[in-house]
């Protein structure tokens, strides 16, 4: 009888650990407009992802993303050091950590980033201003513009956390269809006045 109670207690403990582990996977997203995102950011730039490297940092996995700035939209880096974005999550060896909603970047990706400077000890390092809405994909050409090397690039809204004009009661100039980089720059310049 005593061994049956011990077995039942062990089974209950094991189930509570499994249930607790599966419950802790949510990310709460507070929606934001592109104008508010830019106002909260130190830097907004069109960038090309050069490389990524994941490592352990104080018991968590982080990924450093080396960026090549194609054009500045807001702010500018004051040193010649490489621009490095640090994002939560990644894979080290056989262990991976995924933060739901955090965009994953890969070498060759072309994106617009909204970043906040890291504190003084990490010169050249930046963090996402908004966990899910700070990276906007750039597609090669607009569907309404002619294709070719001079065709304008189109910036798409972040899939999670971005308020667009199609969002009920939204006051923003950013649509689900996206904007050209020039339109985005003008929108952000208007919003900073």
**pLDDT at residue 140, as a whole number:** 67
pLDDT in tens, 72-125: 888 876 666 678 999 999 999 999 999 888 888 999 999 999 999 887 666 678
Please report whether residue 124 resides in a domain: yes
Please report whether residue 3 resides in a domain: no
Residue 167 belongs to a domain with what CATH number? 2.40.50.120
- Residue 187: phi and psi, rounded to 5, are -60, -45
**Which pTM was predicted?**
0.72
Buried b / exposed e across 34-71, counting CB within 10 Å, b at 16+? bbbbbeebbbbbbbebeebebeeeeeebbbbbbbebee
Please report whether residue 100 resides in a domain: yes
Please report whether residue 172 resides in a domain: yes
**pLDDT at residue 17, as a whole number:** 46
Please report whether residue 4 resides in a domain: no
Please report whether residue 36 resides in a domain: yes
Please report whether residue 20 resides in a domain: no
**pLDDT at residue 65, as a whole number:** 95
> What mean pLDDT comes out for the span 36-40?
87
Name the residue with higher pLDDT: 184 or 144.
184
Please report whether residue 84 resides in a domain: yes
Query: Looking at the 3D structure of the chain, how many domains does it have?
Result: 1
Which of 63-67, 71-75, 177-181 is predicted least confidently?
177-181
- Domain extent for 31: 27-191
């Amino acid at each position: 009888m005593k061994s049956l109670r011990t077995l039942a207690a062990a089974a209950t403990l094991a189930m509570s650990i499994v249930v607790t582990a599966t419950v802790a996977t949510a990310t709460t997203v507070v929606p934001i407009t592109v104008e508010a995102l830019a106002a909260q950011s130190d830097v907004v730039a069109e960038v090309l992802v050069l490389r990524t490297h994941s490592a352990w940092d104080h018991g968590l996995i982080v990924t450093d993303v080396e960026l090549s700035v194609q054009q500045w939209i807001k702010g500018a880096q004051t040193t010649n050091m490489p621009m490095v974005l640090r994002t939560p999550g990644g894979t080290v060896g056989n262990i991976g950590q995924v933060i739901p909603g955090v965009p994953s970047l890969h070498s060759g990706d072309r994106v617009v980033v909204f970043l906040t400077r890291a504190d003084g000890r990490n010169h050249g390092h930046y963090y996402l201003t908004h966990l899910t809405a700070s990276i906007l994909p750039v597609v090669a050409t607009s569907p309404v513009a002619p294709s070719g090397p001079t065709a304008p690039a189109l910036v798409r809204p972040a899939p999670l956390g971005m308020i667009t004009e199609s969002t009920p009661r939204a006051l923003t100039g950013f649509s689900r269809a996206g904007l050209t980089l020039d339109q985005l720059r003008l929108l952000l310049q208007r919003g900073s006045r």
